Amino acid sequence: MSSSGSKFVIWAALIGNSVISIIKFAAAFISGSSAMLSEGIHSLVDTGNQVLLLYGIKRAAKPADEKFPFGHGKEIYFWSFVVAISIFAVGAGVSIYEGIHHLRDPRPLGSMTMNYIVLSLAFVFESFVWFFAVKEFRHVKGSHGFLDAVKHSKDPALFVVLFEDTAALLGLVVALVGIYLGDVHDIWWADGGASVVIGLILAVTAVWLAYETKGLLIGEAASPDEVQGIRDLANTVDGIEHVNEVLTMHMGPNYVLVNLSVDFNDDVPAGQVEEIIAALDSAIKQRYPVVQRVFVEIESR
């Protein structure tokens, strides 16, 4: 996902969710629906999350400085993890609490007409944002399947909005079913039960997001293909007898740090070693633009 593409999707979701959350809260106040209140909380949490993602993208773009010599790329990983925590703690927690409270103390529902209208409009909007998120996602996933692409992605903005919008669409369907069953068929527990289910959907989404961003936050390596490619490239360089280790780490979505441990032939002059290392550095960065820094250690096999 390009930076401009991900920002467009995030801004679209931010503007829409902020408006929809207000409308959902108004509908929940009028109707007394627990499911609609949970949906309002869901949209409000999503709005806050999109603000955090935009802030993370801005912070990650800051250049390296004396205190952070490798840049601030991991900021986006940190704020994506915060998004996962907020979804779990606020979105899921409040929705489940509200649903259980409504089940223990059911209240008569008011007019449901506005709820149907709001949910239908929200579904149309969320489908629109989801479509663009999937479209951007397909640009970078290549031949990988969706789940596999998420697993190997190094850019949280690639999948956070997609996860959120998928959860939002599922939540809207659950809310609509719960409200319909309570309104038309007079099933007293349907509205509160829908709120609990929405909370569980948010909880699963949050856990999955946290799992996917944890490795990036700690320091994931580059893809196996990239690591093997760097090793193969180093092995073809004249003067290098053996490549001992290829250590890599993502310092950001588009920043890979490479540390090579190599054994040079004993007959290579010291002056030539510098030239070989410089040529290897240039070759690696040319083949893999995501590699920003290369360190070479000279060690015996």
pLDDT tens profile 49-80: 889 999 999 999 899 899 999 999 999 999 99
Q: Domain residues for 146? A: 3-218
Asked whether the beta carbons of 45 and 84 are under 8 A apart, the reply is: no
Q: Which ranges in 61-159 belong to alpha helices (H)?
A: 75-86, 93-104, 113-141, 146-152
**130 and 146 assigned to the same domain:** yes
Asked whether the beta carbons of 146 and 15 are under 8 A apart, the reply is: no
Q: What is the mean pLDDT of the chain?
A: 87
Which of 191, 218, 245 is at the close of a domain? 218
Average pLDDT over residues 185-203: 90
pLDDT value of residue 128: 85
Q: How many domains, the chain? A: 2
pLDDT tens profile 130-161: 888 788 777 766 666 666 777 777 788 777 88
pLDDT value of residue 202: 92
**158 and 237 assigned to the same domain:** no
**44 and 111 assigned to the same domain:** yes
Give rounded-to-5 percent helix, strand, coil for the chain: 70, 10, 20
Distances (CA, A) of 254 to 28, 158, 177, 262: 43, 12, 43, 25
Name the residue type at position 281: D
pLDDT tens profile 242-257: 999 999 999 988 899 9
Which of 153, 186, 218 is at the close of a domain? 218
**283 and 152 assigned to the same domain:** no
- Chain centroid to Cα 170, Å, comes to 18
For residue 83, the 8-state DSSP code is H
Average pLDDT over residues 207-235: 91
User: Is the pLDDT confidence value at 268 over 70?
Assistant: yes
For the domain that residue 262 is a member of, what is the CATH number?
3.30.70.1350
**265 and 198 assigned to the same domain:** no
**204 and 87 assigned to the same domain:** yes
3-class DSSP state for residue 252?
Answer: strand
User: Is the pLDDT confidence value at 3 over 50?
Assistant: yes
pLDDT value of residue 198: 93
**97 and 209 assigned to the same domain:** yes
For the domain that residue 163 is a member of, what is the CATH number?
1.20.1510.10
Average pLDDT over residues 164-188: 89
The string of DSSP letters for 173-228 reads HHHHHHHHHHHHS--TTHHHHHHHHHHHHHHHHHHHHHHHHHHHHH-PPPPHHHHH
**199 and 266 assigned to the same domain:** no
pLDDT value of residue 1: 47
Q: Quick one: what percent of the chain has pLDDT higher than 70?
A: 94
pLDDT value of residue 109: 67
**236 and 209 assigned to the same domain:** no
**28 and 138 assigned to the same domain:** yes
pLDDT value of residue 12: 80
**194 and 68 assigned to the same domain:** yes
pLDDT tens profile 22-36: 989 988 888 888 888
In what helix (H) or strand (E) does residue 245 lie, and over which residues does it extend? Answer: strand 240-252
Which of 218, 238, 268 is at the close of a domain? 218
User: Is the pLDDT confidence value at 113 over 60?
Assistant: yes
| Bridge partners, residue 247, by sequence | 259
pLDDT value of residue 35: 84
**192 and 286 assigned to the same domain:** no
- Chain centroid to Cα 62, Å, comes to 20
User: pLDDT-derived band of residue 186, with 50, 70 and 90 as boundaries?
Assistant: confident
Average pLDDT over residues 97-126: 83
pLDDT value of residue 81: 92
User: Is the pLDDT confidence value at 258 over 90?
Assistant: yes
pLDDT value of residue 78: 93
Q: In what order do the strands lie in the sheet with 240-252?
A: 240-252, 255-264, 291-298
Average pLDDT over residues 202-218: 90
